[in-house]
Amino acid sequence: MGIQEIWEKLESRFSEMQSIRRYLHMHPEVSYKEFETAKYIADFYEEIGMPYEKNVGGNGVVATLTCGLPGKTVALRADFDALPIQEETGVSYQSTVPNVSHACGHDGHTAILLTIAKTLFEHREQLHGTFVFLHQHAEEVTPGGAIEMVEAGCLDGVDAVFGTHLWSPYESGSIHTCPGPMMAGADSFELTITGSGGHGAMPHTTVDAVALGAQIVSTLQQVVSRRINPTSSAVLTVGSFHAGDAFNIIAGSAKMNGTVRTFDTVIREQIIFEMERIIKGLCDAAGATFQLDYTRGHPPVINDDEMAQFVLDTMEEIDGIDSAHIMEANMVGEDFSYYLQKRPGTYFFTGAKPLEGTAYPHHHPKFNFDEQAMVTAAKALATVGIQFNKQ
């Protein structure tokens, strides 16, 4: 059996893949609440007769396919949680759940992996090694499903792990990855400042949390620009700032939230140190107190150099893939990093830019993708797994 037959079978199943994706799109569930989605996945494997395990690390589902020829063991991963976002696409298969939608493409990822599993299962006697299909819950939150599934043993006996993400900014038919750091570690923080409120006409009797908070936000911008080596990438963003309720009252407290993105744990710790030093210094000077709650989130996604090149080389042979690119690393976070800490592997983007209309970014209420890109992603991920197991 040639790989061409697998590609043709995956192409012929576009309508089936589309139906799975659209059903999941209409019935989204947020992180750690994906009970019906997990049941849908488990029922799929039950129906085709492939061994699987449910409730792996939480709502995770892991299916295992042992093939007829000797070879290695590869894990292929897809996430399946949705986001707390009200959908505004207006498509016929729009989310039926208020304020919840698949605004990142995880419905497509699940449809891709299920279709790969079914197709490889049908050709298992002619394939090498073992395939482990990782259906992961709770990618969008911390601590996330990946670390929980890893701790539950989902990578036991696995030689390498691969995953792909449909990516709306990139043209359909294209594949993007890179050796080494690909996506940043994603931390979050919450800062509460406590001063002393009072009348807007008598600022001298107060410790103004708004003025102090504004000073802190401004000064924090200098951490990356003046304290971090400019050859090292880092982001420090304050995303929200809430204080006060009336125009003539000086607020006595303020709260802000933000994120820190880095590729290096040393840089991360330096940023935390600088943040605490700045916040403490400004609060002491103003006579205020503070509480900084810093959460270390997903570590950076660092691809194995050899496996990244293997993916790029493999893409050159696949019909329907127009190009494979070494991309620049970006600051988006992904908990696929936990798999890569345990096993060599690579994460890659599959271009899925809509053919018409605006390519809205991921996590946008109007986000959507070119569904035909699911076929490209399925062919790419399946081929990587097949070729790896033959080595």
Residues in the chain: 391
SS3 345: strand
- Distance CA(112)–CA(188), nearest Å, equals 31
Q: Which residues, including other chains, have CB under 8 Å from residue 138's CB and lie 6 or more apart?
A: 31, 32, 34, 58, 59, 81, 144, 145, 148
Q: Is 32 left (phi over 0), alpha (psi -120 to 50) or beta?
A: left
Q: What is the DSSP string of 238-277?
A: EEEEEE-SSTTEE-SEEEEEEEEEES-HHHHHHHHHHHHH
According to the annotation, is 140 in a ligand binding site? yes
Q: Which residues are 166's β-sheet partners?
A: 350
According to the annotation, is 283 in a ligand binding site? no
Cβ pair 91, 101 in contact under 8 A:
no
The residue annotated as part of the active site, out of 29, 34, 81, 107, is 81
Q: Which amino acid is at 135?
A: H
Cβ pair 316, 224 in contact under 8 A:
no
The b/e string for 123-132 (b: 16+ C-beta within 10 A; e otherwise) is eeeebbbbbb
Cβ pair 210, 272 in contact under 8 A:
no
- Distance CA(29)–CA(81), nearest Å, equals 6
Q: Which residues, including other chains, have CB under 8 Å from residue 48's CB and lie 6 or more apart?
A: 117, 118, 121
Helices and strands in the chain: count of H runs, count of E runs = 10, 16
The residue annotated as part of the active site, out of 29, 79, 87, 139, is 139
According to the annotation, is 27 in a ligand binding site? no
Q: Is 139 part of the annotated catalytic residue set?
A: yes
According to the annotation, is 363 in a ligand binding site? yes
Q: Is 316 part of the annotated catalytic residue set?
A: no
Please provide the distance, in angstroms rounded to a whole number, between the alpha carbons at the two ends of the chain: 17
**Binding-site residue positions:** 104, 106, 140, 165, 363
**Binding-site residue positions for Mn(2+):** 104, 106, 140, 165, 363
- What amino acid positions are annotated as catalytic residues? 81, 139
